[in-house]
């Protein structure tokens, strides 16, 4: 297995939301605090950066050229080539203290997105699901929403609130709405771990970026820790599988809040990392607007 590499040297203040676009064959990710969308292909083609007026954090693909993108005010249809926006629905548009954070499309064409306080105020956020034109709040009193991802069978959704340090799982109905109370999947509290973004591979195992721990951890469908990969960035934020075989693990990271000493020790914090693995990811699901 290859070693960890730097896939892109753009130093994001708060890198998040990596998305391997299955039609464009590019990796799309965000610098939330920079209000930027970034894109790059495997051979450095299609490299671009789009800058917006509001914070942007996550997206799901609609077609080859358009995404459903979460901003701090709304869900927007964005043309990746031009940056043109069309508002689809407001997202806490009356709350200037909040922004969007982690999000991912589900197997039914829905899009889950979390909100949180810009200053990380406790329990000020929530998790919503957009499905065929309807935006519905599904979980409340969330401080830092993360780890939104889904099992290959489509019957289980995962998420976390990073502050309590527990990754939760919830059963989904036949069109993807939660049908059970969330239950503990992985309890990170005993190890002092801060679970951040996650993605599920083709075997149903969760890969979780662990903020402050310089690593991504792989957990089995039963929650057992199976593997860890270390990164030269304390604040790994979210993993994503991509590449021609969906075997490349991409990982965003952040510089936000790091001291001068910490940045000297890990100067590439904020970069996008990659590593070839022996595992395969899932093809990202398409968002259905209606």
Q: pLDDT in tens for each of the 290 residues of the chain?
A: 469 999 999 999 999 999 999 999 999 999 999 999 999 999 876 789 999 999 999 999 999 999 999 999 999 999 999 999 999 999 999 999 999 999 999 999 999 999 999 999 999 999 999 999 999 999 999 999 999 999 999 999 999 999 999 999 999 999 999 999 999 999 999 899 999 999 999 999 999 999 999 999 999 999 999 999 999 999 999 999 999 999 999 999 999 999 999 999 999 999 999 999 999 999 999 999 99
Structure tokens at 71: 């901003």
Q: Is 153 part of any domain?
A: yes
Q: Is residue 282 part of a domain?
A: no
In a domain? residue 265 = yes
- H or E segment and range at residue 136: strand 134-142
In a domain, 225, yes or no: yes
Is 191 a residue of the active site?
Answer: no
Residues 135 and 266: their CA atoms lie apart, in Å, by 40
194: in domain: yes
CATH number, domain with residue 128: 2.120.10.30
Q: Into how many domains does the chain fold?
A: 1
Buried b (16+ CB within 10 A) or exposed e, 109-120: bbbbbbbbbeee
283 within some domain: no
Strand partners, 113: 103, 128
- For 147, the domain range is 5-276
Q: Among residues 106, 196, 232, 244, which one is catalytic?
A: 196
């Amino acid at each position: 297995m290859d070693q960890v590499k730097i896939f892109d040297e753009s130093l994001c203040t708060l890198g998040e939301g990596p998305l391997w676009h299955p039609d464009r064959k590019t990796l799309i990710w965000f610098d939330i605090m920079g209000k930027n969308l970034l894109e790059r292909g495997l051979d450095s083609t299609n490299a671009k950066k789009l800058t917006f007026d509001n914070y942007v954090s996550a997206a799901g693909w609609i077609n080859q050229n358009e995404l459903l993108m979460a901003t701090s005010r709304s869900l927007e249809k964005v043309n990746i080539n031009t940056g043109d926006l069309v508002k689809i629905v407001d997202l806490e548009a009356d709350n200037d203290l909040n922004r969007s954070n982690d999000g991912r499309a589900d197997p039914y064409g829905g899009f889950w997105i979390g909100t949180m306080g810009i200053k990380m105020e406790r329990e000020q956020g929530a998790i919503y699901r957009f499905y065929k034109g309807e935006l519905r709040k599904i979980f409340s009193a969330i401080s830092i929403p993360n780890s939104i991802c889904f099992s290959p069978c489509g019957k289980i959704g995962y998420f976390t609130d990073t502050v309590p340090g527990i990754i939760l799982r919830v059963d989904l109905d036949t069109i993807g709405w939660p049908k059970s109370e969330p239950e503990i999947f992985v309890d990170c509290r005993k190890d002092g771990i801060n679970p951040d973004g996650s993605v599920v591979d083709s075997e149903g195992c969760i890969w979780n970026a662990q903020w402050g721990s310089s690593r991504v951890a792989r957990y089995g469908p039963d929650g057992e820790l199976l593997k860890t990969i270390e990164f030269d960035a304390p604040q790994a934020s979210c993993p994503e599988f991509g590449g021609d075989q969906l075997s490349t693990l991409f990982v965003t990271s952040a510089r936000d809040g790091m001291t001068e000493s910490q940045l000297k020790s890990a100067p590439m914090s904020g970069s996008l990392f990659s590593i070839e693995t022996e595992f395969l990811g899932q093809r990202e699901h398409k968002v259905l607007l209606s």
